[in-house]
Amino acid sequence: MTTSTTSTSPGAPFTDLRRWLAHLSNSGRVAVMREDTPLQHTLAAIAKRLDGRQAAYFPKPGGHAVPVVSGFMSRRAWIAEAMGVPESELLQRFRDAAERPLRWQEVAKGEAACQQVVHRDRDVREVLPVPTHSEHDNGPYITAGLVIARNPATGVQNVSINRIQVHAPDRMAILMLPRHLWAFYKTAEARNEALEVAVVIGIDPLTLLASQAIAPIDCDELEIAGALHGAPLRVTKCLTNEVRMPADSEIVIEGRILPGVKEPEGPFGEFPKYYSAREHREVIQVDAITHRREPIYHTIVPAEMEHLLLGSIPREATLLAHLQRSFPNVLDVHLAIGGVGRYHLYVKIKKTHEGQPKNVICAAFGAHYDIKQVIVVDDDVQVHEPQQVEWAVATRFQADRDLVVIQGAQGSVLDPSTTIGQEFGDGVAPPPHLQGLSAKMGLDATRPVAYHEHVFTKVRVPGEDEIDLAAVIDTAARVDFAVGAMR
Ligand SMILES: Cc1cc2nc3c(=O)[nH]c(=O)nc-3n(C[C@H](O)[C@H](O)[C@H](O)COP(=O)(O)O)c2cc1C
Ligand SMILES: [Mn+2]
């Protein structure tokens, strides 16, 4: 494998996992481990050490025939590259795809690579190399499974990633936060029916990203994947149910989320880098496992860059669209990685009126309940650079004048600070309607629209951005500093 500079030149989108992995590998961005990496902790530890630098590929992990890959979407620049756009156009491209989805195309069964091998009545952990990630996790978890289901009322499909605990040969517990999959399940459960699902593991980078779109409930995220690909996604029907899933997937677990059944799930180390407590959760009954010949299994190490970016980029795209509807002078947004890609939003505006940043702050709180802190900055601040944002706060913000605090709003249930002061007894979680109660904080770190002379002019040196260092540095010259003369 050669080490070369990361290519960021725009091109055609990558529509295939194996082609994307080959591309990363050819540019020195895949580290291949020795065989036999233990599936418990060691695999995740290695992937975590390489996070954001190289994808990790594990042949025969724990002696298992199926290899594991992790971290192939762990940089913002790589995600833009997979889309075939410069990084500056990443949000716009995602937004275009979300606004103009492309209907999928069903292919004949024989053409579905993901059904080349079929298993029934097999232990999931024997067929698949499911790793155990964090110290206190309750065992092996599927962390990169796209859960595809059909709306029982309309038949329209939905895609999301959900953590899935594999705790029995053919039963898995799933966390469904109250979004679309949850709504489908509740509809099915009210009829005392199971909800049919496909859990897809090992899929191209853009379909993975599309699964995280904040779209209306009647939008099938596989159609956003098609729009990102620039061609309809090839899908096929599961063998044991009606769900359509990508025909070129590596691995598919077919099953049903059972009505009225809950089993203990967790603890599990989540994206805020804390554990979710053990609770009773819904259960998937596994009906079949299908895969390609020699499939690749994908695992996402929780809370690492792949996890944070997959969630944050589609959210940024939606938040930017939402804010620009009311404020055309909003230029860019960023969900800071220090805020786990979910809680802290930086907004760049070309401010036209005093007070306007506070309106932007309020609009951002309304856009997603996860947002806990908003910092609004001017157009001379780069929102993707936390140091620049901190500089704006340090020099343009006064707490008595520029701070907005809202008490007791809805926040993220995975933020452990939201549960303080809600003691319900040892090991007893607060009821769902009391979870995630959170304050919101907004900081207006913009300068006044009008100011005297250069009070708020950022210092710059003429030419600092344009100087061509290669043209001005004399690499052959040597100075004898002891004498102070050129030699
Ligand atoms: C790696 C990863 C793991 C996730 N795990 C869960 C989960 O366990 N439960 C959940 O409800 N959402 C989880 N999410 C978030 C959902 O997949 C995401 O919000 C999705 O857009 C929801 O889809 P929907 O709006 O169609 O319901 C996860 C996201 C990622 C990237
Ligand atoms: Mn959805």
What DSSP assignment string belongs to 291-326? Answer: E-SS--EE---TTSHHHHHHHHHHHHHHHHHHHHHH
What pLDDT was estimated at residue 2?
A: 38
Cα 248 from Cα 19, distance rounded (Å): 12
212 CA distance to ligand 1 middle (Å): 7
Give the pair of three-digit tokens for residue 434.
Answer: 């009391």
What pLDDT was estimated at residue 4?
A: 40
User: Is the CA virtual torsion 439, 273, 200, 311 positive or negative?
Assistant: positive
What pLDDT was estimated at residue 487?
A: 62
Closest protein CA for atom 22 of ligand 1? 160
Show the ligand 1 pocket: residues with CB < 6 angstroms.
Answer: 143, 158, 160-163, 175-177, 179-181, 212, 300, 307, 310-311
What pLDDT was estimated at residue 484?
A: 72
Cα 215 from Cα 185, distance rounded (Å): 18
Cα 132 from Cα 420, distance rounded (Å): 29
Whole-structure pTM value: 0.93
What pLDDT was estimated at residue 65?
A: 97
5 CA distance to ligand 1 middle (Å): 33
Return the domain boundaries, the chain: 86-299, 327-444
* Among the listed residues 371, 372, 389, the one whose alpha carbon sits nearest the alpha carbon of residue 380: 389
* Among the listed residues 274, 279, 300, the one whose alpha carbon sits nearest the alpha carbon of residue 135: 274
Q: Report the half-sphere exposure of 432 (CA within 13 A, side-chain side).
A: 6
174 CA distance to ligand 2 middle (Å): 17
Which ligand number lies closest to the CA of residue 177? 1
Give the contacts of 329 (CB within 8 A, at least 6 positions apart).
Answer: 349, 350, 351, 352, 356
Name residue 72's amino acid: F
Cα 146 from Cα 253, distance rounded (Å): 10
User: Mean pLDDT, consecutive 10-residue segments, the chain of 487 residues?
Assistant: 46 96 98 98 98 98 97 98 97 97 94 97 98 98 98 98 98 95 98 98 98 95 98 98 98 98 98 94 98 98 98 97 96 98 98 98 96 98 97 98 97 89 72 89 98 94 95 94 77
What is the CATH code for 327-444? 3.40.1670.10
CATH fit for domain 86-299, picks 3.20.20.140, 2.30.110.10, 3.40.50.11540, 3.40.50.970: 2.30.110.10
pLDDT in tens, 181-196: 999 999 999 999 999 9
**Contact predicate 435/415, CB 8 Å:** no
What pLDDT was estimated at residue 430?
A: 79
Cα 318 from Cα 97, distance rounded (Å): 11
Q: Across-strand partners of 86?
A: none
End-to-end alpha-carbon separation of the chain, Å? 41
3 CA distance to ligand 1 middle (Å): 34
Q: Which residue among 70, 161, 176, 208 is best mutated to probe the pocket of ligand 1, counting the most ligand atoms within 8 A of its Cβ?
A: 161
210 CA distance to ligand 2 middle (Å): 10
What pLDDT was estimated at residue 9?
A: 54
Give the contacts of 340 (CB within 8 A, at least 6 positions apart).
Answer: 271, 272, 273, 303, 308
- In this structure, the dihedral spanned by the alpha carbons of residues 111, 115, 117 and 122, taken in order and rounded to 10 degrees, is -170
Closest protein CA for atom 12 of ligand 1? 162
Which ligand number lies closest to the CA of residue 212? 1
What pLDDT was estimated at residue 483?
A: 85
Cα 245 from Cα 236, distance rounded (Å): 6
Which ligand number lies closest to the CA of residue 213? 1
What pLDDT was estimated at residue 421?
A: 66
